[in-house]
C-alpha cells in the first residue's frame, strides 16, 4: 500500500470516527448502536495499524492480499453502518456485518 493510500485511508477513518462521535452526542436512544459502531471502528484501526507487522509475520504468499481484502470489506461495512446511523433507526444487518468482519480479521491476524 502506498503512503498516499495510507494517508487517504487514515483521513477516511478519522471522518467516520468523527461522524460517529458527533452522532453519539446528538442521539440518546441509539447509544448502544453508536457504541458498537465506535468500538468496531477502534478495532478496525487497530487491525489496520498492524497490517505491516501481520504481513511480515506470515510467510504464505497470498496471505497479505487476503488480509487487505478482509480489511477493505470491514471498512466498507463500517461506512454502511455509519450511513445507517446518520439515517436513524435500527440497523441490525449492518451491525451483524461489522461484527462478522471484526471476527474474520481478528482470526486472520493470529
Residue-wise pLDDT for 95-104, tens only, equals 999 999 999 9
What's the pLDDT band for 21 if we cut at 50, 70, 90? low
Give 30-63 pLDDT, tens digit per residue. 558 888 888 899 999 999 998 888 888 888 878 8
- Is residue 45 within 8 Å of residue 83, measured between CB atoms? no
Mean residue pLDDT of the chain comes to 83
pTM: 0.70
Amino acid at each position: 500500500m502506498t503512503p498516499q493510500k495510507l494517508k487517504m485511508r487514515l483521513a477516511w477513518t478519522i471522518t467516520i470516527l468523527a461522524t460517529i462521535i458527533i452522532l453519539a452526542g446528538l442521539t440518546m436512544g441509539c447509544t448502544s448502536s453508536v457504541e458498537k459502531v465506535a468500538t468496531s471502528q477502534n478495532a478496525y484501526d487497530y487491525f489496520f495499524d498492524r497490517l505491516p507487522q501481520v504481513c511480515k509475520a506470515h510467510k504464505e504468499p497470498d496471505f497479505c492480499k487476503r488480509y487487505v481484502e478482509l480489511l477493505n470489506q470491514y471498512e466498507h461495512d463500517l461506512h454502511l453502518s455509519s450511513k445507517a446511523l446518520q439515517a436513524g433507526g435500527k440497523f441490525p444487518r449492518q451491525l451483524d456485518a461489522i461484527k462478522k468482519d471484526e471476527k474474520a480479521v481478528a482470526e486472520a491476524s493470529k
